[in-house]
Structure 1
Amino acid sequence: MSLLLPELPAGPLSRLRWALADGLTVTLRGLLHLRREPGTVISGLLFPVMMVLMFGYLFGGAMQVPGGGGYREFLIPGMFVMTMVFGMGESVAAVAADKNRGVTSRFRTMPMAPSAVLVGRCVTDMIHSVLGLAVLFGVGLLMGWQAHGTTAATLSAVGLLLLLRFALTWVGIYLGLLMKGPEGITVVQTLEFPVGFLTSAFVAPATMPGWLGALAEWNPLSSTVAATRELFQNPGWDGDSWIAQHATTMAVLWPLVLTVVFFPLAVNRYRHLTR
């Protein structure tokens, strides 16, 4: 008895509806997995909270903010960015788990839109990131942090954070498709810390050795940190380099560059996975 497969839709609109429906199905699958693993979700949400409490209360008294101002208001926008960075490791782990268990290969043999798996993963991670950002916003408010800018400026800052997360999601998806074992995932998650700390998130690059400060300034994360501080009207670091003076512009350009590079890499890697 032959297996009858459903006829693939013809026409651009029908294919678009097909892709959206399949992408929604994969997204719902990802959200169901999050609901069935509350321990993983809670630990992922609480880790940034622990970090901000540790730096805000244990180390904050010894920190000096360039130009004056409270260290907690200086810190919180940096921790928003770090939360977006930590989410990349979760993307790597989820994609690698599906690939190594054969789930991704099974999806590729099914009559579903080729984009559904990657888009569904991306949407799931973005929803999780919004939740994590909301939790950290609440913690920041309880610690005395405030967004002093206008509502439009605050929403723009949130948009920049989510734009960064969107770009890092595609970096994570690509790396997850490359991973062949837990060792690689551990390496990626470990590298999040030096990459995240080598920024202006916790201290001003001016306090670092010259060459290290230059690296911190040109770290794409630093642009988002500086831009969100400016939009929130929180204390920041006014560097005199070109990259520091154009932080908001670069907070848009850096994520776009990362997306342009890693989105096609992820799609190509997915298409050429061994079944």
Structure 2
Amino acid sequence: MATAGLGTSRGLRWLLSDLSVITARNLRRLVRVPTMIAFATVQPVLFVLLFTYVFGGAIRPPGVDKYVDFLLPGIFVLAIAFGASQTGVAIADDLATGMIDRFRALPMTRSAVLAGRTAADAVRNLFVLLLMTGVGHAIGFRFHAGIPAATGALGLALLIGVAFSWINALVGLLVRDAEAAGLVGLMPVIVLVFTSSTFVPVATMPGWLQAFAKINPVTVTVDALRALVLGGPTADHVWQALAWITGLLLVTVPTAVLRYRHTTAA
């Protein structure tokens, strides 16, 4: 029993060590590529400003004084979902250049390659969320339910970002081409975001579209974030969002790990 416990502890230390190395490698890669820095900073700021000032004068959601308070929870999900496409691009690029084969030749935990990529994405997403919150605050956005709810909103947004990252990691492994992985990763996001409550209340949509929008995971997550931002009943919204996120992770994480092992097999 003691030997088994020692082995488990040692394996966990190796996993955490490998995870930290791969995470640091991906973060350095982000910092050293100007286009990736621009994608992680300029695009989210443009999302906040453009959608607020373009739609803000025409849309008046019921029960909300400022459109930016209604909009920003949706923009959180939009920016994170768009940014997650870079996960698929990076994984496909590492496959094409043989980098993953080099990782495989090293004495390291194989799942650390994918987990390190998604962990780096989580760090990037935290920066993006804080950046958008700061820009939003400058143009009138406020968290109306207090600091604990605000923290919960950011945490929930990070969780949906982890789910999107694993989805795109799987896409990159399946497609194996960086350009194609980026396109495949973005197409479902565009459909889901624009058929959700991201920009407008679901009640304003045609009846046939409402049926889909109400069960859309983006709608469920955005509504949970919105409840945490604006205040009011939050438990049902948050649990539904967590259920969606958990379900996505239960499917994509083991599938991506298995695909990774198959894809890089000699």
Contact 2:217 2:241 in 1 (8 A): yes
Instruction: Give per-residue Cα distances to partners, 1:17-41, cap 9 Å, x unaligned.
Output: 1111111111111111111113322
Say if 1:26 and 1:116, in contact at 8 Å, map to a contact too: yes
Per-residue Cα deviation, 1:93-114 (whole angstroms, up to 9, x for no partner):
1111111111112211221122
Q: Which runs of at least 4 in structure 1 moved beyond 3 Å after TM superposition?
A: none
More moved, 252-261 vs 40-49: 40-49
**Which shifted more, 204-213 or 60-69?**
60-69
TM-score for both structures, normalised by structure 1: 0.88
Q: Deviations over 1:223-264 (max 9, x none)?
A: 121111111116x9x9xxxxx993221111110000001000
- For 2:263, what is the secondary structure of its paired residue? coil
Q: Given the alignment of the two structures, is residue 264 of structure 1 paired with residue 246 of structure 2, yes or no?
A: no
Q: 2:202 is matched with which residue?
A: 205
Q: 1:16 aligns with which of 12, 18, 25?
A: 12
Gaps of 5+ in 1: 1-9, 239-243
Counterpart AA for 1:252 = L
Report percent identity of matched pairs: 39
Aligned Cα root-mean-square deviation (Å): 2.0
Residue identity in the other structure for 1:257: G
Q: Which residue of 2 aligns with 1:4?
A: none
Partner of 2:79: 83
User: Which deviates the most, 125-134 or 190-199?
Assistant: 190-199
Which residue in the other structure is 2:243 paired with? 253
- Indicate if the aligned counterparts of 1:122 and 1:170 stay in contact, CA closer than 8 A: yes
Q: Output one character per residue of 1:79-98: Cα deviation in whole Å (capped at 9) or x when no partner.
A: 11112211220111111111
Query: Which residue, out of 170, 182, 186, partners 1:185?
Result: 182
Q: In 2, distance between residues paired with 1:232 and 1:66?
A: 15
Contact residue 179 and residue 185 of structure 1 kept, 8 A: no
Distance 1:183 1:163 in 2: 25
1:141-184, Cα deviation, whole Å (9 max, x unpaired)? 01100001121111111111111111111111111111132234
Paired letter, 2:124? H
Match of 2:141 among 138, 145, 153: 145
Q: Which amino acid aligns with 1:51?
A: F
| TM-score normalised according to structure 2 size | 0.91
Q: How many residues align?
A: 259
